[in-house]
Structure 1
Amino acid sequence: MANHGVLLALLLLLPLHCFSFSEENPTDRRILVLVDDLAIRSSHSIFFKSLETRGFDLDFKLSDDPKLTLQRYGHYLYDGLVLFSPSTQRFGGSVDMAAILDFVDAGHDLILAADSSASDLVRGIATECGVDFDEDPEAVVIDHTSYAVSETEGDHTLIASDSFINSNVILGDKKIEAPVLFQGIGHSLNSANSLVLKVLSASPSAYSANPKAKLSSPPSLTGSAISLVSVVQARNNARILISGSLALFSNRFLRSGVLKVGSSVKYEKSGNEQFVTEISKWVFHERGHLKAVNVKHNKAGEKSEPAIYRINDDLEYSLEIYEWSGTSWKPYIADDVQVQFYMMSPYVLKTLSNDQKGLYSTSFKVPDVYGVFQFKVEYQRLGYTSLSLAKQIPVRPFRHNEYERFIPAAFPYYGASFSTMAGFFIFTIVYLYNK
């Protein structure tokens, strides 16, 4: 009977291991999509189809499903979470704000889309991620000079924005030519959180207010300080996307043409599809995901890794860095990877040279200080997962039989000693035999 119980537990855990995050294949993952209404599955089908085409397994559930859970038997069932349920007041099952934040703390990715109906629960999750939506629940982003002209002319809440972050790793190498359509609520970034970045900003003429009411006081959010879409890369390399517009991902916005007020250029298609595709590639680690392998150090001229170094030894240090391209690992090429030889503070700081094939290396002399040192590589670059590598190694002084018998620098002292002895001998002879 006990054997049957063990077998049952293993069978239940097997799917969890199959869907767990793999460092060797970061994009072979399962994503939970929570929606207020299953109609979103068809109204946003282009975005979902792009994810499925790229190999993701999407599991759609209503946000109030009483059977909702993110983990079972201590293992997470999903590697990514998409919250397209802005008006949800309470999630079903065992999912709540704490469960979602624990999900991110465990290294998993999150996409959160809100709109003017955003609940306190959704706003609270965004706040915990370093983003503050406008406190006025009726407020939306309004722009009288950078709105889009469409069939519903005069709707100044339909924003056409092209204020993108300048980062190829986040938005891809191909420039997004057409403006992105946005209709929803704006947010600001928490100044205490250095990990959150604006990806899409409003124009200087935009402001956040209730479009149905007259302004009685200055808006709390104005101009380029309004972020429309933001991203966060946590210290554990989990990635978060927060959008103030659920419609930004919709088929209607992805297929719509754009004529921006004040511009004579009419785009047959908005930049939304390219924008959401490229930003989702970054969020789900299809781009900008680094790994370091084959970290080695050895004495110059040797191949084996020693257990201890001696002061003034010549040593060599190397590692290989690769970037995930979405389908395979490719060599990562950069000129700003550094290694520290560290004990309380860096005694040596060297920039690693690379062979354009992913191999980074350098050589240096061990400092004339003995103790317990560390080889440390702390690599952080905008849009890329951070690398934090440390390897401890002791450094010893010369043994008593390893010092030179006669140190050249001490020759003056040797000369002084012998001249003193010679002088004393001469003085003795003169003193004893001089009448």
Structure 2
Amino acid sequence: MSRPLLSLLTFLFLSIICNAFSPENPTDRKVLVLLDDLSVKSSHSLYFQSLQSRGYDLDFKLADDPRVALQRYGQYLYDALILFSPTIESLGGSLNAAAILDFVDSGHDLILAADASASDLIREIATECGVDFDEDQAAMVIDHTSFAVSDTEGDHTLIAGDNFIQSDVILGKEKIKAPVLFKGIGHSVNPANSLVLKVLSASPAAYSANPKSKLSTPPTLTGSAIGLVSVVQARNNARILISGSLSMFSNRFFRSGVQKAGSTINHGRSGNEQFVTEISKWVFHERGHLKAVNVRHHKVGEADEPSIYRINDELEYSLEIYEWSGTSWEPYVADDVQVQFYMMSPYVLKTMSTDQKGIYYTSFKVPDVYGVFQFKVEYKKLGVTSLSLAKQIPVRPFRHNEYERFITAAFPYYGASFSMMGGFFIFSLVYLYHK
């Protein structure tokens, strides 16, 4: 290979890497889309077009393509992965469940859509992310009270779901205008797992079973415990969307009208397009991504940051928090940001004030304990990326020449000492010279 050609290839590769996810531009840009069949590209084109219109570069590949790869020379080629291949048993190239989980562990994002014929591979990836699909391979979510009137098969597996999570960060400030059409498999979420959130749940009357056979045993998944769509925000702030329905993203469901059984309201269009668009904005960090900058602390009345504090010093602590809007950083406004002055346990815990422009500040007195302390900000809130800030600072006691020479509270002791000395002097004179 000639030197000019090698230089050109190196430049192109570095350009790909440099345009990837970065702290200053956290929105995913390069997205790999893996499909069971390339026909999905056209049957779900409205969803893909909505992503491309927002600046995403989608790379479509068959899931079993032997040339597919997430990384090359130790560098990831993509910022996010969309896995629209529910029936795939084995991924192509070097891809497998472990490679996809490593991709997420490296801070990248994932959208996974399954259906009633979900393969063991898809189930394994979902389980590792904290979501367990129904073990029955033929099971689907059935609802005899909240099914869509347009369910032509009559088995009530076409559900009009409207049991959404109450979070403006995840689903946007504008309320979802219509129920979401869902046809697929349900899943369960461990309630003790705080990283997994059900975004769309089934109604209390729903259950998971094989619609083509009679129930011989009670279903394992019932009611609102059934998750239809869930999200995961990992501890490294990677985000995952897991849906039990691939059809939910399809053009047909986007364009369909929806009317719930027992309701007279016929919505002109389902809420699928609005729902998946808003949740995709969250998954791809267009919303709810925080950063903290300009962390400062100093003594009251001073501007420079000291290398050490003295017990009982008055100090001020401040920082700035911004939220990514998809195009720029905007001030983040909240009333629950706290700072700890920490050594083994928090000696000081203060809720910080804000100027509504992204600046948070507080002041407090250094405790009367010396040692190595930390300023700690641990901010975790539903839907937003967590902030974890820590900075060590030593605290020393008073030096011998910094104590007050005469303490008012000690005046009685001073008086007792001088009176004792005066009495001893008088006693000595009387004893020596009295005859």
- Identify unmatched segments of 5+ residues in structure 1: none
- Report the Cα distance in structure 1 between the residues aligned to 2:74 and 2:6, rounded to whole angstroms: 16
Kindly indicate whether the alpha-carbon contact (under 8 Å) linking 1:27 and 1:55 is maintained by their aligned counterparts in 2: no
In the other structure, the counterpart of 2:34 is: 34
In the other structure, the counterpart of 1:402 is: 402
Q: Tell me by how many angstroms 1:93 deviates.
A: 0.5
* SS, match of residue 402 in structure 2: coil
In the other structure, the counterpart of 2:263 is: 263
- Report the Cα distance in structure 2 between the residues aligned to 1:69 and 1:41, rounded to whole angstroms: 19
* SS, match of residue 90 in structure 1: coil
1:199 partner amino acid: V
- Report the Cα distance in structure 2 between the residues aligned to 1:388 and 1:2, rounded to whole angstroms: 48
Kindly indicate whether the alpha-carbon contact (under 8 Å) linking 2:332 and 2:357 is maintained by their aligned counterparts in 1: yes
Q: Tell me by how many angstroms 1:409 deviates.
A: 2.8
In the other structure, the counterpart of 1:136 is: 136
Q: How does 1:112-151 map to 2 (within 5 A)?
A: 112-150=112-150
Q: Tell me by how many angstroms 1:418 deviates.
A: 1.8
Query: Cα deviations across residues 157-203 of structure 1 (Å, max 9, x unaligned)?
Result: 00111000010110000011211100000000024422101100000
Query: Cα deviations across residues 281-328 of structure 1 (Å, max 9, x unaligned)?
Result: 000010001010111111111111111111111111111000111111
2:226 partner amino acid: I
- Report the Cα distance in structure 1 between the residues aligned to 2:139 and 2:353, rounded to whole angstroms: 52
Q: Are 1:213 and 2:213 counterparts?
A: yes
- Report the Cα distance in structure 2 between the residues aligned to 1:223 and 1:186, rounded to whole angstroms: 11
1:24 partner amino acid: E
Query: Cα deviations across residues 93-152 of structure 1 (Å, max 9, x unaligned)?
Result: 011111100100111110000001100000000000000000000100001111001161
* SS, match of residue 174 in structure 2: coil
Q: Are 1:108 and 2:108 counterparts?
A: yes
Count of paired positions: 435
* SS, match of residue 378 in structure 2: strand
Kindly indicate whether the alpha-carbon contact (under 8 Å) linking 2:28 and 2:284 is maintained by their aligned counterparts in 1: no
- Report the Cα distance in structure 1 between the residues aligned to 2:28 and 2:231, rounded to whole angstroms: 22
1:379 partner amino acid: Y
- Report the Cα distance in structure 1 between the residues aligned to 2:6 and 2:426, rounded to whole angstroms: 96
Query: Cα deviations across residues 322-350 of structure 1 (Å, max 9, x unaligned)?
Result: 01111111100011101111111111111
In the other structure, the counterpart of 2:235 is: 235
In the other structure, the counterpart of 2:283 is: 283
- Report the Cα distance in structure 2 between the residues aligned to 1:215 and 1:183, rounded to whole angstroms: 19
Q: Are 1:358 and 2:358 counterparts?
A: yes
* SS, match of residue 267 in structure 1: coil
Structure 1 window deviating more from structure 2 (365-374 vs 132-141): it is: 365-374
- Report the Cα distance in structure 2 between the residues aligned to 1:364 and 1:405, rounded to whole angstroms: 26
Q: Tell me by how many angstroms 1:16 deviates.
A: 3.6
Q: How does 1:25-424 map to 2 (within 5 A)?
A: 25-27=25-27, 29-150=29-150, 152=152, 154-424=154-424
- Report the Cα distance in structure 2 between the residues aligned to 1:9 and 1:302, rounded to whole angstroms: 54
- Report the Cα distance in structure 1 between the residues aligned to 2:357 and 2:60, rounded to whole angstroms: 41
Shift in CA distance, 422/2, structure 1 to aligned 2, threshold 3 Å: farther
Kindly indicate whether the alpha-carbon contact (under 8 Å) linking 2:155 and 2:211 is maintained by their aligned counterparts in 1: no
Shift in CA distance, 3/311, structure 1 to aligned 2, threshold 3 Å: farther
Q: Tell me by how many angstroms 1:366 deviates.
A: 1.3
Query: Cα deviations across residues 69-95 of structure 1 (Å, max 9, x unaligned)?
Result: 111111111111100000010100011
Kindly indicate whether the alpha-carbon contact (under 8 Å) linking 2:28 and 2:79 is maintained by their aligned counterparts in 1: no
Q: Tell me by how many angstroms 1:6 deviates.
A: 8.6
- Report the Cα distance in structure 1 between the residues aligned to 2:7 and 2:308, rounded to whole angstroms: 47
- Report the Cα distance in structure 2 between the residues aligned to 1:101 and 1:426, rounded to whole angstroms: 90
Shift in CA distance, 33/2, structure 1 to aligned 2, threshold 3 Å: closer
1:230 partner amino acid: S
Shift in CA distance, 374/423, structure 1 to aligned 2, threshold 3 Å: same
- Report the Cα distance in structure 2 between the residues aligned to 1:6 and 1:366, rounded to whole angstroms: 60
- Report the Cα distance in structure 2 between the residues aligned to 1:6 and 1:399, rounded to whole angstroms: 66
1:96 partner amino acid: N
Shift in CA distance, 397/434, structure 1 to aligned 2, threshold 3 Å: same
1:322 partner amino acid: Y
Identity of aligned residues (%): 77
Shift in CA distance, 28/106, structure 1 to aligned 2, threshold 3 Å: closer
TM-score for both structures, normalised by structure 2: 0.96
Q: Tell me by how many angstroms 1:250 deviates.
A: 0.5
Query: Could you say what the CA RMSD is over the residues aligned between the two structures, in angstroms?
Result: 1.8
- Report the Cα distance in structure 1 between the residues aligned to 2:426 and 2:123, rounded to whole angstroms: 96
- Report the Cα distance in structure 2 between the residues aligned to 1:92 and 1:192, rounded to whole angstroms: 35
* SS, match of residue 138 in structure 2: coil
2:265 partner amino acid: V
- Report the Cα distance in structure 1 between the residues aligned to 2:363 and 2:376, rounded to whole angstroms: 14
Query: Cα deviations across residues 223-243 of structure 1 (Å, max 9, x unaligned)?
Result: 110000000100110000000
- Report the Cα distance in structure 1 between the residues aligned to 2:18 and 2:88, rounded to whole angstroms: 30
- Report the Cα distance in structure 2 between the residues aligned to 1:414 and 1:16, rounded to whole angstroms: 78
- Report the Cα distance in structure 1 between the residues aligned to 2:393 and 2:214, rounded to whole angstroms: 68
- Report the Cα distance in structure 2 between the residues aligned to 1:319 and 1:172, rounded to whole angstroms: 26
TM-score for both structures, normalised by structure 1: 0.96
- Report the Cα distance in structure 2 between the residues aligned to 1:271 and 1:143, rounded to whole angstroms: 18
Q: Tell me by how many angstroms 1:358 deviates.
A: 0.5
Q: Tell me by how many angstroms 1:18 deviates.
A: 2.6
Query: Cα deviations across residues 375-400 of structure 1 (Å, max 9, x unaligned)?
Result: 10000110000000011111112222
* SS, match of residue 374 in structure 2: strand
* SS, match of residue 127 in structure 1: helix
Q: Tell me by how many angstroms 1:155 deviates.
A: 3.7
Query: Cα deviations across residues 197-220 of structure 1 (Å, max 9, x unaligned)?
Result: 110000011000001111000000
Structure 1 window deviating more from structure 2 (347-356 vs 119-128): it is: 347-356
Q: Tell me by how many angstroms 1:371 deviates.
A: 1.1
Kindly indicate whether the alpha-carbon contact (under 8 Å) linking 2:80 and 2:108 is maintained by their aligned counterparts in 1: yes
